[in-house]
Structure 1
Amino acid sequence: MTIGAGAGTLLEVSGISVSFDGFKAINNLSFNIGPAELRAVIGPNGAGKTTFMDIVTGKTRPDEGTVRWGENYTNLLKRNEAQIARAGIGRKFQRPTVFEDQSVTDNLMMALKAARSPWKVLFWRAGAKDDARVAEIAAQVGLADQLPRKAGELSHGQKQWLEIGMLLAQEPKLLLVDEPAAGMTLAEREATTALLVDLARTRAVVVVEHDMEFVRRLNCRVTVLHEGSVLAEGSLDHVTADKRVIEVYLGR
């Protein structure tokens, strides 16, 4: 019988440490998230938030520790970035990366999960099922009426939603989202909050964010990182009342 990463655990990061030129970016970090959970990660600059995501997605290899994934307790440290993405981990960076000269439809169509061998890509043609899936994703991210437009014509917030839609096309089990509210209008921020909350009903979503009001709207468990370790964890009210958090983060 295969042992999972723990009851109700999708991702288990345990005792991770990594140094760059003598600087310990991550220091004995442990972090768990469930299969349908929304989590916010906050902390001052240099706290290790980006490095944490780099390790989970295979971009950075830790000096020690383990990263386990899914029901089969898969060791992600033995996988490369592409294999980790195919396993169901999607990452959205702060600056949206979309094909600006292509339509919203084409961006989503290119992102659909499918066999990607050179031979199959050469002869692949979109079918009715693909068209329906693209329409479904566009509606989910609030772009149903934008499908014919070029991605470059979208607002900043709409580009963010398109990139989230492109990740959804890969059918991820975990989404890592970096500062989604940055540069958005108030209406876009509210729509993004609703989108992330909705997505977390069927998958895990980890949001790295500095905007405390945005985090409050997410109404989820919060993990505070400092010097590469977990400083505090709990509701936003709980962590913001912690004297250590006030001293190293909120008081600055």
Structure 2
Amino acid sequence: MSALLEVSGVTVSFDGFRAINNLTFAIGAAELRAIIGPNGAGKSTFMDIVTGKTRPDSGSVTFGEKSVSLLKLSEAQIARAGIGRKFQRPTVFEDQTVRENLTLALKAARSPWAVLVWRKSAADEARIVTLAEQVGLGDRLEQKAGILSHGQKQWLEIAMLLAQEPKLLLVDEPAAGMTLAEREKTTELLVDIAKTRAVVVVEHDMDFVRRLNCKVTVLHEGAVLAEGSLDHVTKNQTVIDVYLGRG
């Protein structure tokens, strides 16, 4: 089976500093993957490259069944192709209700005329309810996003990304700032989402990564240092020396 996302020989430098160094790895179509590594390992730059925010100096990044080159697409085109990214801090419309946030996020034509004439259908409303229930906000549809807890805002943003029907979801440090109960709920949510699409989680919290129970890629100095189960990579002496030993 071919990979959904394939990164091959990617290198990118900023002012002489090589942030990504011949990075090569692949993500499957319905796979949950955790990416860990010390600060400066290239984790954020990797996501910037995949979403079109940063252009590499060399290498290739292909996506989908037809192996489309993401390096030829704009950020908007990449998003429409099926890649969603969630940053560490939730970005929701706090003065709008959960329902209104999800309505705004629904996948639809975005031309000026299409936006003017668009009306929410019964199918759209059903989709909104389903998304809210999926992330545990089914009883909060009429609540303004601004009064949700930090964890609930994170879930709402995930639901907003799911409304775009992505094939790949990039999630940056979802456990940060969450209560234990919220972290457990987030684990369950990400595992469930990865049954139907690819989910890549960048995370520092090893307990959270362990609960994800997925393949782990360790980055260091812009390249893959180790890959495998969490137990496998945490026994790697080099990983211990450059990352885990720092704790």
Question: Normalised by the size of structure 2, how large is the TM-score?
Answer: 0.99
Unaligned stretches of 5+ in structure 1?
1-6
Match of 2:225 in 1: 231
Distance 2:128 2:85 in 1: 19
* Counterpart residue number, 1:80: 74
Stretches of 4+ aligned residues off by more than 2 angstroms: none
Find the residue that maps to 1:145 and give its secondary structure. coil
Aligned residues: 246
Shift of 1:123: 1.3
Task: Confirm or deny that 1:119 pairs with 2:113.
Answer: yes
Structure 1 residue 109 corresponds to structure 2 residue 116? no
Residue of structure 1 aligned with 2:132, choices 134, 138, 145: 138
Mapped partners of 1:127, 1:135: distance in 2: 13
Residue-by-residue CA offset, 1:48-69 (whole Å, 9 max, x unaligned): 0000000000000000000011
Aligned position for 1:212: 206
Could you tell me how far 1:31 is from its partner in structure 2? 1.6
State which of 9, 18, 43 in structure 2 corresponds to 1:49.
43
The equivalent of 1:68 in structure 2 is: 62
What's the counterpart of residue 216 of structure 2?
Answer: 222
TM norm structure 1: 0.97
Q: Residue 184 of structure 1: which of 173, 178, 182 is its match?
A: 178
Identity %: 78
1:8, CA displacement in angstroms? Answer: 3.3
1:249 aligns with 2:243: yes
Q: Which residue in the other structure is 1:10 paired with?
A: 4
Q: Deviations over 1:125-156 (max 9, x none)?
A: 11111100000000001100110000001000
Please give the alpha-carbon distance, in whole angstroms, between the structure 2 residues aligned to 1:188 and 1:224. Answer: 25
2:2–2:65 contact (8 Å) kept in structure 1:
no
